[in-house]
Structure 1
Amino acid sequence: MQETRLDTARIRLARQVIDPIFLDTPLYRCEALEPQLGCSVSIKLETANPVRSFKARGTEVVASLLADRGSRAVVCASAGNLGQALAWSGRGRGLDVTVVASRFATVAKLDRIRALGAGLELVDGDHEMARERAAAVAQRDGIRLVEDSLDIETCEGAATIGLELVDARPSFDTVLIALGGGALATGVGHVMKALAPEVEVICVQPQGAPAMTLSWRRRRVVTTDSTDTIADGVAGRLPIPAVLDDLLLTADDAVLVREESIIAGMRMLHDHAGLVVEPSAALGIAAILEDRDRFAGRHIVTIVCGSNVDADAYRRWIGAAGLHRS
């Protein structure tokens, strides 16, 4: 394969510094989903850990490097999951963590960031404004800025998921990956292309936050003025050029899905897999729902990437009746 910024040897080394609690997550075939989807479906479950998302795989690598170098302070912008993960990883290594987030971020995510001991600064804007503010704080205070997807450690930490998927081969032929900033997609995609190139790598993004997908399709950075999606974890407007360059080498396709399909995917994962997930984690199921013919007869792996969701919003999305069905 052509070279990305990622390195397979470094990805293998990353496993040695990531707390084992985030590694070797469950991967299992979920036959209960299959009659409605028309294909074999396996779930890679990245929610059964202290921060309920895959993000700590990357922040464990970042925090380990910072601690080794004697750094004591770090700041990041986050829609919620990265902030929780950095707070958890930093707390265990004596780092002073500051998280900048939108005032409109999911309350449950913000509460958890505070509970993990990080400082939290809120901005009156979206995630891109939080990124700008985090950069300003880092420059003002002379501390490390962690930029999700741009910092290679976040991508290579996420890529350890790919190593675990490769170990399970050859049972699946397609992997569906939520696409936001790109750390998960480029990380897992790099490993697939390097070690299992026959596996099709398909990225999935909401129609209401299409910037990275449009950029992938046009092979150049495409920005949007706003986002409109319940999938807050992937709601970026300004793709990072270096990450797009990697994505162009690691993704076979990038698709957009409707909000109603995301909600239907969340409901299916609840009703048939017993999983409470945030909208970003249902993107893979949404992609199958929207194009059953494409995936018919295949064995799909979908990465369930997070479960930090506001309880009231979740009830509205999947419906009170759905919560009580047996």
Structure 2
Amino acid sequence: MTSLDLALIQDAYAKLRPVVHQTPLFSNRLLSQLTDCDLYLKAENLQITGSFKIRGALNKVSAVAQTNASGVVTGSSGNHGQAVAWAARFMHLTAQIVVPTTAPAAKVEAALSYGAQVEYCGTTSHERLERAQQIAKDTGMTFVPPYDDPLVMAGQGTIGLEILEQRPDVQTVLIPIGGGGLISGIATAIKSLRPDIRVIGVEPLGAPKAYQSRQAHARITLPSTDTIADGLKSLALGTQTYPIIERLVDDLVTVDDDEIRYAMGLLLTRQKLLTEPSGAATTAYALRRPAQIRGQKVVALISGGNIDVPTLCHQLNP
């Protein structure tokens, strides 16, 4: 079985680099003053499909295409689904995406525009992933996990390699946590090359699956989640992502929805970056001016920017 390591991430980087964007690393004097550190924003909201998810999806789907599979299927709250739809079209495969009934319209419309079929199912990650796996079993399509897969994690880990290229003097990296694929990949890349860099995972107070798992020293499944950050609402870390996070991530912290809203507004007005709530979580944490980042060179990952105008207006003026 393939396992995640630096070589797998470097292989993904070589494969993805001609296709995906090397997203910019922005700095902003006011945000650095407000956070009491040298803050740099890794703008994956400017990535193809509007989020980091295309990296893992394309890395996985390109491997699936080598097996002569007829198509791919996944379950997603939106960003992973869009990315799988785009990757499938790029690799000339069909795609079916199972989304929650609460999925943001902008994300569903994007998946449809890339040629995917979309099916609504339930409100939890468990429901949609179970349905997607059943479709794969019934049709022979290949299931593309949203996070709990070495090739998916390796694709996301290419962000870590980019950060080290763009800001080799970075001291701390802030990464949002949903199912854990993003932080598992980035932490593996960074800690393999620069173990001195601190990696901090940020998740919503209403979906603290990683935080609670760290406290319990065991993988915890939440009974429910409640947060505006729809991309970070997973009930549990993956069975493969959890041990990586436990081993490599230095600290796990939470932010509340009001802090996320405030960060979204600042990123939009001061840096002109449109972010969805999940993408603003890391900046929300930095704005607390925590002691472990004070005076340091810090990269905050802006994971995505897929939000429609009515939702944006509502979040900024609840």
TM-score range, shorter chain: over 0.9
Q: Given the alignment of the two structures, is residue 255 of structure 1 paired with residue 253 of structure 2, yes or no?
A: yes
Residue 30 of structure 2 aligns with an amino acid whose one-letter code is A
Within a 5 Å distance, the mapping from 1:33-182 to structure 2 comes to 33-182=31-180
Q: Is the 8 A contact 2:34 2:289 kept in 1?
A: no
Task: Work out the CA distance in 2 between the residues paired with 1:64 and 1:124.
Answer: 29
1:204 Cα shift? Answer: 0.1
Q: Is the 8 A contact 1:154 1:183 kept in 2?
A: yes
Gaps of 5+ in 2: none
- 1:132-159 CA-to-partner distances (Å, cap 9, x unmatched) read 1111111122221111221111100000
- 1:105-131 CA-to-partner distances (Å, cap 9, x unmatched) read 111101111111101010133222111
1:319 Cα shift? Answer: 3.7
Task: Work out the CA distance in 1 between the residues paired with 2:269 and 2:32.
Answer: 13
1:318 Cα shift? Answer: 2.0
1:317 Cα shift? Answer: 1.9
1:25 Cα shift? Answer: 1.4
1:16 maps to 14
Matched residue SS, 1:47: helix
Task: Work out the CA distance in 2 between the residues paired with 1:142 and 1:115.
Answer: 24
Residue 222 of structure 1 aligns with an amino acid whose one-letter code is I
Which of 211, 214, 231 pairs up with 2:212?
214
2:311 maps to 313
Q: Is the 8 A contact 2:149 2:240 kept in 1?
A: no
Matched residue SS, 1:177: strand
C-alpha change, 1:289 and 1:198, in structure 2 (3 Å) is same
Q: Is the 8 A contact 2:73 2:141 kept in 1?
A: yes
The share of aligned pairs that are identical, in percent, is 32
Residue 27 of structure 1 aligns with an amino acid whose one-letter code is L
Deviates more, 1:141-150 or 1:222-231: 141-150
Task: Work out the CA distance in 1 between the residues paired with 2:3 and 2:13.
Answer: 18
- 1:143-190 CA-to-partner distances (Å, cap 9, x unmatched) read 211112211111000001111112234322000000011111000001
1:244 maps to 242
1:99 Cα shift? Answer: 0.5
Q: Is the 8 A contact 2:8 2:151 kept in 1?
A: no
TM-score, structure 1 length as denominator? 0.93
Matched residue SS, 1:212: helix
Q: Is the 8 A contact 1:106 1:309 kept in 2?
A: yes
C-alpha change, 1:281 and 1:26, in structure 2 (3 Å) is same
Cα RMSD, aligned residues only = 1.6
- 1:292-317 CA-to-partner distances (Å, cap 9, x unmatched) read 44422111101111000121121122
Q: Given the alignment of the two structures, is residue 27 of structure 1 paired with residue 22 of structure 2, yes or no?
A: no
TM-score, structure 2 length as denominator? 0.95
C-alpha change, 1:19 and 1:91, in structure 2 (3 Å) is farther
Task: Work out the CA distance in 2 between the residues paired with 1:55 and 1:178.
Answer: 13
Which of 268, 278, 281 pairs up with 1:270?
268
1:192 maps to 190
Q: Is the 8 A contact 2:173 2:299 kept in 1?
A: yes
Task: Work out the CA distance in 1 between the residues paired with 2:193 and 2:26.
Answer: 21
Task: Work out the CA distance in 1 between the residues paired with 2:279 and 2:5.
Answer: 26
1:291 Cα shift? Answer: 4.3
2:281 maps to 283
Matched residue SS, 1:226: coil
Task: Work out the CA distance in 1 between the residues paired with 2:260 and 2:35.
Answer: 14
Residue 90 of structure 1 aligns with an amino acid whose one-letter code is A
- 1:216-239 CA-to-partner distances (Å, cap 9, x unmatched) read 332211111111000000101132
Q: Is the 8 A contact 1:38 1:297 kept in 2?
A: yes
